[in-house]
Structure 1
Amino acid sequence: MDSRTKNRLSDDVIAALVAEHFDGARVTALTELDGGMFNAIYRIACTAFARDIVLKVGVGPGVPLLTYERDIMRAEVACYRLLHERTDVPAPTVLAYDFGRTLIDADCFFMTALDGEPLSKAKSRMSPENLTQVKRRLAQYLARMHTVTNDYYGYPTDDPSRRYATWRDAFLGMFDRLLADAREHRVRLPYHDIARVLERHAGLLDGVAHPALVDFDCHDGNVFVRRNATGWRIEGILDFERMFWGDPLADLPPTFVFRKDIRDEPDFLAAFLDAGGRQVFTRDDDRRFQLYRLYLAVIMAAETFRYGRLYGAAQRAWAVMQVRSCLRRIEA
């Protein structure tokens, strides 16, 4: 997938980065990975490691971004560290990072490579029983992520004004900035209807007890699976750059982007609720799900300015359709 945000590097620059961070190591093989839609990503074999590593390169200077996307690579690196320190969720290990921008004009980091393949590609070859097992395990891993907590709500930040004491204030602030971004990029949305729904249903956000680590990008393309003698299993979860501190239910819409009702994934939902010590998915839970699905749909509409004309138009049309669907379901 091509995007204006991808900051591609030459082979020589990548070789210099590897040598700088791994004691003069030499690159022996190099491939750009094309699955992502935001960062340039490279799979590398080098003399410093017996297994391949991955280089992820941040956005270069002067490229327009949505407000929440600024410095998100730093949040991702911190998230990997938290997951390894506080959970058993399988994820790559960060090997080195450079936020000083001394060799290149962007943040970057190296991590261990996963050897499996995305669930999005593998699931068509799974038996229904195996796919159900994988979905239930994914639900359990998400619930374990949500045990990692923080002392404020919102996106990771050093700005005290954006460290919120309540999830209601955080989510409304996040949404306000996103809508401002959408307006700046001239995305046609039902802004008045969105504002009315947020005002009428903001009280649903008051029941969130603590700021949990929310991945908010755990779709099938970011879940890697491997096959063994007994079937497919989850090898690792990656791409935590869009994480924030908030309501665990917010992780459900990105995990099933094309689901309008999470109850259409009963095995996943049952495992998710059970891991969180709950048994019932209530009407208010569904409305919160729709609010987070609405937020995701607006993101998907607002970010299309950086894609090619045809792809951008197609995603924007689909996302706006989802916005209207969410508004109807919340108000139903």
Structure 2
Amino acid sequence: MELHVIQRSANAFQQGLAGRQIQAVAERAFGPGAEVRSATELGGGMYNTTYRIDLAGREEPVVLRVAPEPARQFRSEQELMRAEYASAPWLAPIAELMPRVLAADFTQSVIGRDWMIQSFLPGTPAPHLLGSYAKATHSAFFRQMGEITAAVHAVAGRWFGPVTGPGHARWSEAVVTSLHLIAEDVECCGLDAADLRKAADAAQAGAQVLDEVTVPRLLTGDLWTVNTMLTEGAPVPTICGVLDMDRTWWGDPEADWTMRMARAKQDARTAFFDSYGRPADTEAGAWRRHVYEVRHLGALRLERHRLDNEAGVRDSYPAVALELSELTP
């Protein structure tokens, strides 16, 4: 087997597999006769460890995604791969853009970690190709992003919160629970989470405003440029694939990372709302967005800590304080 890996430190969050482990996964997925010709670790993602796998006798490569060891997962990020697997039937409106699941094993009996094998999507990662297009054409990309997001948000569920549960009858319960989980993770990292606790208290006090959201909608979790593939040679940037939908949950569409990013700048991304539609601008909606922004900032604090980005962790505190000033009298 040819094995091509990304060199990482022993303390890095993402940890690769040995060749024998990859071969064992292939045999579990495709039978004892499976032979891995080559395995190439792919960069880009910051959570799962991902490989392009070429198998003897199989014309198309496949993608192996391996979850972090259970002990390395934050409580607010537990079993994300299982959430993605459970989300697949709900993501049927965009199935043509997504890889197919060919095999999955959550027993952890082969390598001690969850793993999933998916079909290999054609195209080029958007971060590698989008910049080669003239700025004037970028609106086409964001308009398609709006269409994809609207299709996902149109799917209604039976509860608020994680796709795999536990579910909540009220949106406020899901939001407050999520904020507390993130705060616990921050504290377990030896960081101060008092600001996140205050935000959870403010969200609880404003439960009536949060509970104006009565229909749980499917949220992408973190869909944005980095999670898309573009068609090579298209006259304008054209999305041909969507990846890594492992942070899906049920809630208010405005709480989705995608909506946050679409609102972040007044540039070509404003075309997102040409296809998605323009949500009503209300005082209650603006207050809820401040709550959602604290949740995003808390999750970013954890990610930056995981990546040893100390400056980014520090910057998260004044950012949360600014949102808190809008939430509390």
Where on the TM-score scale, by shorter chain, does this alignment land: which range?
Answer: 0.7 to 0.9
Instruction: List gaps (5 residues or longer) in structure 2.
Output: 1-5
Q: Indicate conservation of the 8 Å contact 1:217/1:254, yes or no.
A: no
Q: Indicate conservation of the 8 Å contact 1:15/1:27, yes or no.
A: yes
1:41-60 pair list within 5 angstroms: 41-60=50-69
Residue aligning to 2:3: none
User: 1:248 & 1:10 partners in 2: Cα distance?
Assistant: 41
- Is 1:38 equivalent to 2:44 in the alignment? no
Equivalences, count: 319
Residue aligning to 2:180: 176
Displacement after TM superposition at 1:164 (Å) = 0.6
- Is 1:234 equivalent to 2:243 in the alignment? no
1:216–1:192 CA distance, 2 compared to 1 (3 A): closer
Q: Indicate conservation of the 8 Å contact 1:80/1:92, yes or no.
A: no
Q: Indicate conservation of the 8 Å contact 1:5/1:39, yes or no.
A: no
User: What is the one-letter code of the residue matched to 2:261?
Assistant: F
Q: Indicate conservation of the 8 Å contact 1:218/1:255, yes or no.
A: no
Three-state SS of the structure 2 residue aligned to 1:232 is coil
User: 1:295 & 1:246 partners in 2: Cα distance?
Assistant: 13
1:1-332 pair list within 5 angstroms: 4-23=12-31, 24-63=33-72, 65-84=73-92, 86-88=93-95, 90-158=97-165, 162-189=166-193, 190-191=195-196, 193-195=198-200, 197-252=202-257, 256=261, 260=264, 265-273=269-277, 280-307=280-307, 311-328=308-325
User: 1:227 & 1:130 partners in 2: Cα distance?
Assistant: 15
Three-state SS of the structure 1 residue aligned to 2:91 is helix
User: 1:89 & 1:283 partners in 2: Cα distance?
Assistant: 38
1:192–1:242 CA distance, 2 compared to 1 (3 A): closer
Q: Indicate conservation of the 8 Å contact 1:75/1:243, yes or no.
A: yes
Q: Indicate conservation of the 8 Å contact 1:143/1:272, yes or no.
A: yes
What per-residue deviation string (whole Å, max 9, x for no partner) do you get for residues 107-135 of structure 1? 10001122323322322112234210110
User: 1:327 & 1:39 partners in 2: Cα distance?
Assistant: 32
Q: Indicate conservation of the 8 Å contact 2:183/2:197, yes or no.
A: no
Displacement after TM superposition at 1:217 (Å) = 1.0
User: What is the one-letter code of the residue matched to 2:172?
Assistant: R
What per-residue deviation string (whole Å, max 9, x for no partner) do you get for residues 75-131 of structure 1? 1112234323x4456111111101112211011000112232332232211223421
Displacement after TM superposition at 1:43 (Å) = 1.0
User: 1:28 & 1:254 partners in 2: Cα distance?
Assistant: 41
What TM-score, normalized by structure 1, do the two folds share?
0.85
User: 2:111 & 2:201 partners in 1: Cα distance?
Assistant: 45
Displacement after TM superposition at 1:225 (Å) = 1.3
1:318–1:225 CA distance, 2 compared to 1 (3 A): farther
User: What is the one-letter code of the residue matched to 1:33?
Assistant: L
User: What is the one-letter code of the residue matched to 1:21?
Assistant: A
RMSD across aligned positions (CA): 2.7
Instruction: List gaps (5 residues or longer) in structure 1.
Output: none
Percent identical across equivalent pairs? 25
